[in-house]
Amino acid sequence: MRVPLDDRETDLFHVHRGALSTHPHRPLTPCTMKLLHSLFVAVPLALLVACASPAAGDTDVVPYPLEDCLVMDASLGSMGDPVRIVYEGREIKFCCEPCVDEFYADPAGYLVKLDAAIAAQD
């Protein structure tokens, strides 16, 4: 990869004896490769997992009591992993991402539907 630097072009990475290097005569050490892996792979992956898991502040969230999607009435997990959101202190689960958009188009109507479904279960 070539990157312009001060009106000159310089090689950002080199291949030295079959190994990736940032210097034309020195290959990257295993320690440097682990550091690059942690910076560009492990840390972003850990952040994605942390964002997807319930936060510590979700302890006062009312759990979703149904086994079906609020929008399509499809079984949760029938279209892959369920999508979870927290809306006004209530956990709501959907069968897919497009259902979340549909929910946000009319949240009050879907909350009435949720309350009716909960009342029917009791």
Instruction: Output the tens digit of pLDDT for each of the chain's 122 residues.
Output: 454 544 444 455 555 455 555 555 566 667 666 766 666 666 666 666 656 555 545 568 889 999 999 999 889 888 888 999 999 889 999 998 899 999 999 999 999 998 988 888 77
Q: What are phi and psi of 55, to 5 degrees?
A: -80, 165
pLDDT at 102: 92
Tokens of 59: 């302890």
Q: Among 115, 114, 117, 74, which Cα is nearest to 98's? A: 74
Collect all residues with Cβ–Cβ distance below 8 Å to 80 and sequence separation of at least 6: 96
pLDDT at 121: 77
For the beta carbon of residue 70, count every other beta carbon within 10 angstroms.
21
Please say whether the dihedral angle defined by the alpha carbons of residues 49, 52, 53 and 57, taken in this order, is positive or negative: positive
For the chain, count helices (H), then strands (E). Answer: 4, 6
pLDDT at 6: 47
